[in-house]
Structures are given as C-alpha cells and as structure tokens.
Amino acid sequence: MTNQEKLRRILADPILWIETFVNIVDKKGKLVPFKFNPQQKYIMRNKNKFNICLKSRQLGITSVALAFSLYMAITKPNSTCMIMSYSLDSANNIFEKLKQMYNDLPDCVRLETIANNRKELKFVNHSRIIVCTCGSKDNARGATLNFVHLSEVAFMNEYLDKQLTAIEQALVPDGCIILESTANGLNRFSELWNKSVSGETPLWKPFFFSWVQDKRMFADEYKEYRKRYKNIYGSYLTKDELDENEIALMNKGASLDQLMWRRLKVSNTSEEKFCQEFPSNPIEAFISTGSGIFNSAIIQERLNSLRNTPILRLPVSGIDPIIKKYNKYLTIWKLPVSGKRYYIGVDTGEGLGGSNDYSVISIIDGDGFQCAEWRSNKVKPYEFAELVFQIAMWYNKGLLIIEKASAGHTLVDKVRHDYHYVNMFKYKAYDQKRGKAQRKIGWETTSKSKPMMISDMQEMFETGQCLVNSKNLLQEMKLFELVDGSMKAVSGHDDTVMAFAMALQGLKSGQYYFPIGK
C-alpha cells in the first residue's frame, strides 16, 4: 500500500484518523495518543442520526465527540459541529480539552484557524466547532449542523427541550446528534431514555455502557483499591465471599478487582449513589427522591435472575388468528396447562401509540407464577376486545379482571355481551336508591381499592407468593412511588403494574365462574 493509499484510507475512517493524529491528556496528566476504548469504538461504529447514551462515569464519550468534531471540521469543508454542556465551567473545560487536541495535531493535518476564542474554533476551510451551554439563548438558530453532542444531559436545565427542537431543525439530513449522560434521578433525560428503550420514541437509538464493561479507564484505580482492600480486611476478596448481587455482576464480566473497588466505593457513599454514578444496568441508574413502594433490592435480584426463566414461542397450531397477528407484543413464560386455573389482569389504553398509555394483559396461574404478558399502545380498543377474549379462552377460560376506567368500560361490555364471556371478576357496589349490594363486572380503581391492591401486590412480591418474569413490569415497579399521598409512576407508565396487581386480586378473590379445562 502506497503512502497515498494509506492516507485515503485514514481520511475515510474517523476512528483510524483519530488514532493516527489525535493526542489526549490521560488521568496521569501525560499526553498520549488517543486510543479508543470498546465503548467509544462501539458508539462510533453503530451511531444513527439520533442517539441517546446512558453510561457509567468517565468512559470518555465526550472526549471521542471532541475528537470526531476535529475530524469532521478538518476533513469536511463547510461543516459545523456543536458541543453543548450543562454549565459554564463544564463548557470551559470541554473547550480547553478541544484546544489541546487541536494544538497537538501534527502540522500535516492541522488547519489554520481564523477564530480561536469565545468557545469557537473556525477554520480556513469554513468549518467550525462551537462549544456552548444549555441556556435561554438559541445556540442553533441560523446554523446548519453536521454533528452535535450534548454532554451530561441529565444535569441540563429547563431549556433542554427548546435547544433540542432548534438543533433537530438545524441538523443536516446525514447529520448526527448524541445525547450523553450519567443518570441524575428522574427527569427529562430519564424520560427520553425510557421512551427510547420502550420504543415510544423510535427516533432515538439507545446505547448503555455499564461500569462492568470498563477494563481500561479505571485500570489504575482498580489496582490501587485492590491494595487498599487488603490493607483494610487483611486479604483479597474471594469468590466464596460474594453476595448475590456481586455474583450477578461477575456473571456480567466484573473481575474480583472491580468488585473490591465497588465495595470500597459503596462503603464511602451508599449503594444507591454508586448505582446512579456507576450503573450495571439501565434500571438501577435512575435513583428517585420519592418513596418507592416496592423493595428495590428484591426487584434488582429478580432482574439479575431473569435469564434463568426462558421465553417460549407461540405454538404453531391451535392459536386464534388475532393472537398470531399481535404476537410480537406477547411474551410467554409458561403455556396453558389443562386443568389449571389462570387469572388475567387487563388495563386498557386508547391504542393511540406514541407516549400514550399501554393496553396490558397480565396472566398468572394459581401459584402466582407470571405465565404471559401482552403489552402495546398501538391496538385499537375494538380489536383489543377480541384479543382479550381469545387469550382468555386460550388460557383455559381464565378469570378476567378488567379495569373499567376510560376505554375499559367498552372492553367489559364487548367481552361480556358481544363474546358472551362469563368468567369475569365482579366487585360489590351498593345501590344507594334501593340500599342493596350489587355485583358488577370489572375492576373499579378508587382511592380505597388502589392502595389495597398495590399493598397486596407488594406483600405477595416481597414474600415470594408470586413470581414476576416481565422486565417491563419490574422496571415500572422500580419507578412506582408514593408521591404526595398518591401511588403512581414518577416517570413513564404504570399500566403493567396495574394489570399484574389486578391479576393478583383475581387470585386472591377466589372467584371463578367457569369449569376448568379446555
């Protein structure tokens, strides 16, 4: 390969260009060649136009954004890159790092600048890199942006949405934007992240980088903490001493050195604070300030062990067409067994998609084992009624517990009268005129019934009387809190919680109006 061919190859590959020409100051204060860690390389190779990155601390995502901005500005004339941070001090630090990278470029690639102040590098090829803060000023107005990176989005203020709207309008068709942050409780960033993962906002591609994946950025600190651990406890940590969470982390790839580092970090702060700064999975990253209803440690233990519960395929034969049609929204952990009773909680949405509420069907057996879950917000109520009926028939004509709020009234009516389904939960209501109690079909969520059903679910979950297999449900449980006297999700949805809680109420009630069997 000639020198000219090598140069063409380098110019065509931003990772190769950066590793060839860019230097960076490491944690020891030494100027070293920029070498990508696996997380940096992964996001560079797999990014789309719109990207959101939840990560552990100090994995170098902003550093690679700066290096990529230099690559774009120098190799693509008339391009504009923007790096936005949450505070003036942070923006100053980022701009200083950018200038260091630029000043240490080899003469053969370093373009002359015509502006090198006020947090902007402007080059003779009419490209520029802007570093700014998330404030009231519309930084993207009048600009045409090729690459944008927002650093520590979870710490940005009330102007975030305004800035995002302007940036999206200014982004060129083949441009790229990355929202990157460690967690900072439940806020706009956690909302954007949860929506991207659930598919409510499919525009944004989610990336998650755990501290367990890091074997380079904290390598020296791991060695230092290993020595400290021995000095404190007299010996190094062994596998026999690991608790359940640590075993789960080791199964994800954590070394004993990393686990000793983790133990000392936790002892210096708290388990929750460590999880926020150094999450091993996305759910534990978001620590809220409210009063969680469900025990987060037990939720985490169940999340760690979900891999031991296999997900089953829908049978090829004997399944109604509407179940097959919406099979992609159905997760099965146990197929119906002849002679068993099943309890089916149903929370009904409007089927409008987007960020609207979900329709959820949660199925448990008589032992409290979660057998299946159907979850979507894209199916219209009239089709959902047929789906609920057919799933109930499939699961041995199970007891249906349908929440009557909103579209639930229509669902109860259609299932009972259009499909002539009998095995439906009934609640007691008093006829005020006649002074007599009546049995009405469905579940009515009131200020009295909701605390009761959630309290029952809490007890059954935490005492092992039921087994949750749904990741969606566990995630909602983690964000389900008592806020100002009201039990609700502090971020996202709680439809899956409500459907499962109703299934448990059906089990607890002892009601059943159908003979068992197919």
H helix and E strand count, the chain: 19, 20
Distance CA(348)–CA(405), nearest Å, equals 8
Domains of the chain: 3-209 (3.40.50.300), 219-287 (no CATH), 308-509 (3.30.420.240)
Q: What is the pLDDT of residue 27?
A: 80
Q: What is the pLDDT of residue 433?
A: 61
Beta strands 486-489 and 31-33: pairing type?
unpaired
The tokens of 211 are what?
Answer: 């501290």
Q: Could you give the count of Cα atoms lying within 13 Å of 314 in the half-sphere of its Cβ?
A: 20
Nearest to 33 by CA among 17, 48, 45: 17
DSSP per position, 142-209: T--EEEEEEESGGG--TTHHHHHHHHHHHEEEEEEEEEEE---SSSHHHHHHHHHHHTSSTTSEEEEE
The tokens of 262 are what?
Answer: 């983790």
Distance CA(291)–CA(15), nearest Å, equals 45
Residue 310 · residue 333 · CB < 8 Å: yes
Q: Could you give the count of Cα atoms lying within 13 Å of 292 in the half-sphere of its Cβ?
A: 19
How many CB atoms are closer than 10 A to CB 188?
A: 16
Q: What is the pLDDT of residue 515?
A: 63
Residue 358 · residue 376 · CB < 8 Å: yes
Kindly state the DSSP code that residue 229 receives in the 8-state scheme.
H
The CA angle 89-93-95, to the nearest 5 degrees, is 115
Beta strands 171-181 and 145-151: pairing type?
parallel
Residue 66, SS3 per DSSP: helix
Measured distance between the N- and C-terminal CA atoms of the chain, rounded to whole angstroms: 71
Q: What is the pLDDT of residue 518?
A: 43
Q: Taking the model in full, what pTM does it have?
A: 0.71
pLDDT in tens, the chain (518 residues): 777 777 788 888 999 999 999 999 988 888 999 999 999 999 999 999 999 999 998 889 999 999 999 999 999 999 999 999 999 999 999 999 999 999 999 998 899 988 777 789 999 999 999 999 998 888 887 789 999 999 999 999 889 999 999 999 999 999 999 999 998 877 889 888 888 887 777 789 999 999 998 888 888 899 999 999 999 999 999 999 998 888 989 988 999 999 999 999 999 888 878 888 898 888 778 765 556 789 877 887 888 788 888 999 999 999 999 999 999 999 999 999 999 999 999 999 887 777 788 999 999 999 999 999 999 988 988 899 999 999 999 999 999 999 998 788 899 999 999 999 999 999 887 665 665 668 899 999 988 899 999 999 999 999 999 999 999 999 889 888 877 777 887 777 899 999 999 999 999 999 998 765 44
H/E element, 343: strand 342-347
Q: What is the pLDDT of residue 291?
A: 64
C-alpha pair distances (Å), 372 with each of 117, 144, 294: 59, 48, 21
Residue 500 · residue 389 · CB < 8 Å: no
Compute the chain's Rg from CA coordinates. Answer: 27
Q: Which positions ≥6 away from 122 have C-beta within 8 Å? A: 113, 114, 115, 116, 128
Distance CA(76)–CA(335), nearest Å, equals 57
Distance CA(305)–CA(315), nearest Å, equals 25
